[in-house]
């Protein structure tokens, strides 16, 4: 397993960075882990997760709610059961649409942002195959622990799980051509900043697929504002999201609702 971890680090190192610098790290087999040139910071791969966030990150109350073994385990068990009850698509249907929107094939590199317990991460890794690579990024240690267990059970050597912040992605600029964020936008306290980070790491021709608790309306609503102000929990306006993606230079922007409180958007970076 150590050899597999070292191999995936070697494949992913050129894509990673610490916030504030685009300098790529070097693989240190003795850790095993990465050494970053700025300040010589060393980060070990532990239990299948590379923690580039550390202990100083201040999570919102909503983010904290899924960062315990109990809550992460409960979410893992009930997510697919409860999703259709609130109008969300069945998981296999979600996966199929993500693959189609990303136009995902063998050998590609994918960022699975807000990967949580790794359900989409594993499916993406199966699709891109041994010659591909999936970077699963999340802030929750508890969720990433479950993702690591899921990846290990599936025996997938092409996944690197990274603890990192969507508002300051540990990904080098213009380095990715496939980005997925399934069900994570509503937990991001600064959605505009997260979208700017997605735009920053997107290479020419990149395809992006995003989903969230969402509405097809762009009219202000008191209940939505209350959720955002009290819990940093968004119900994303899909028309506003499409507008913001276009303003960041994305083209072929589209969106659709899937039930009363869920929706998806997609876009492409011009070549």
Q: Note the pLDDT of residue 230.
A: 61
In the three-class reduction of DSSP (H, G, I as helix; E, B as strand; rest coil), residue 130 is classed as: coil
Confidence band of 2 (pLDDT split at 50, 70, 90): low
Residue 229 has pLDDT above 60, yes or no: no
Tell me if the bond preceding 184 is cis, omega within 30° of 0: no
Residue 235: pLDDT band (50, 70, 90) is confident
> Is it the case that residue 98 has pLDDT exceeding 80?
yes
Helix (H) or strand (E) holding 251: strand 251-257
Between CA 162 and CA 133 the distance in angstroms is 13
- At 226, the pLDDT band (50, 70, 90 cuts) reads low
Q: Is the pLDDT of residue 185 over 90?
A: no
> Is the model's pLDDT at 231 over the cut of 60?
no
Q: How does the average pLDDT of the chain come out, rounded?
A: 90
Q: Is the pLDDT of residue 213 over 80?
A: yes
Specify the pLDDT at position 78. 82
Burial of 81 (0-12, 13-18, 19+ CB in 10 A): exposed
The percent of residues above 90 in pLDDT, for the chain, comes to: 65
Q: What is the pLDDT of residue 135?
A: 98
Banded model confidence at residue 4, pLDDT cuts 50, 70, 90: confident
- Among 44-53, 66-75, 148-157, 218-227, the least confident range: 218-227
pLDDT digits (tens, 9 = 90+) for 8-32: 999 999 999 998 888 889 999 999 9
- Alpha-carbon gap, residue 78 to 245, rounded angstroms: 32
Would the pTM count as exceeding 0.95? Answer: no
Least confident of 13-22, 175-184, 214-223: 214-223
- Exposed e or buried b for every residue in 185-201, given b needs 16+ CB within 10 A? bbbbbebeebbebbbeb
Length reported for the chain: 271
Q: What is the DSSP string of 163-223?
A: E-BTTB-SB-TT-EEEEEEES-GGG-S-HHHHHHHHHHHEEEEEEEEEEEEEES--S--HH
Look at residue 221 in the predicted model and tell me its pLDDT: 63
Residue-level pLDDT at 7: 92
% of the chain residues with pLDDT over 70: 93
Strands 176-182 and 109-113: parallel
Q: Where do the domains of the chain lie, and which CATH numbers do they carry?
A: 44-268 (3.40.50.150)
Cα–Cα dist 241/160, whole Å? 28
Q: What is the mean pLDDT of residues 151-178?
A: 97
């Amino acid at each position: 397993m150590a050899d597999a971890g070292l191999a995936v680090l070697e494949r992913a190192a050129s894509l990673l960075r610490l916030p504030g610098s685009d300098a790529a790290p070097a693989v240190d087999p003795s850790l095993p882990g990465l050494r970053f040139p700025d300040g010589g910071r060393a980060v070990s791969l532990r239990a299948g997760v590379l923690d580039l966030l550390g202990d100083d990150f201040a999570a919102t109350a909503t983010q904290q709610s899924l960062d315990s073994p109990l809550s992460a385990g409960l979410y893992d068990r009930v997510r697919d059961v409860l999703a259709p009850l609130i109008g969300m698509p069945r998981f296999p249907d979600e996966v199929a649409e993500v693959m189609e929107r990303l136009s995902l094939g063998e050998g590609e590199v994918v960022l699975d942002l807000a990967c949580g317990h790794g359900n989409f991460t594993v499916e993406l890794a199966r699709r891109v195959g041994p010659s591909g690579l999936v970077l699963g990024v999340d802030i929750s240690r508890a969720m990433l622990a479950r993702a690591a267990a899921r990846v290990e059970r599936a025996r997938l050597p092409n996944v690197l799980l990274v603890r990192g912040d969507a508002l300051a992605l540990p990904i080098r600029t213009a380095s990715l051509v496939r980005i997925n964020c399934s069900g994570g936008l509503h937990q991001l306290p600064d959605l505009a900043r997260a979208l700017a980070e997605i735009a920053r790491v997107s290479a020419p021709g990149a395809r992006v697929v995003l989903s969230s608790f969402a509405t097809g309306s762009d009219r202000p609503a008191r209940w939505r504002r209350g959720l955002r102000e009290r819990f940093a929990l968004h119900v994303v306006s899909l028309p506003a999201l499409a507008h913001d993606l276009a303003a960041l230079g994305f083209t072929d922007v589209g969106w659709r609702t899937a039930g009363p409180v869920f929706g998806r958007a997609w876009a492409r970076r011009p070549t």
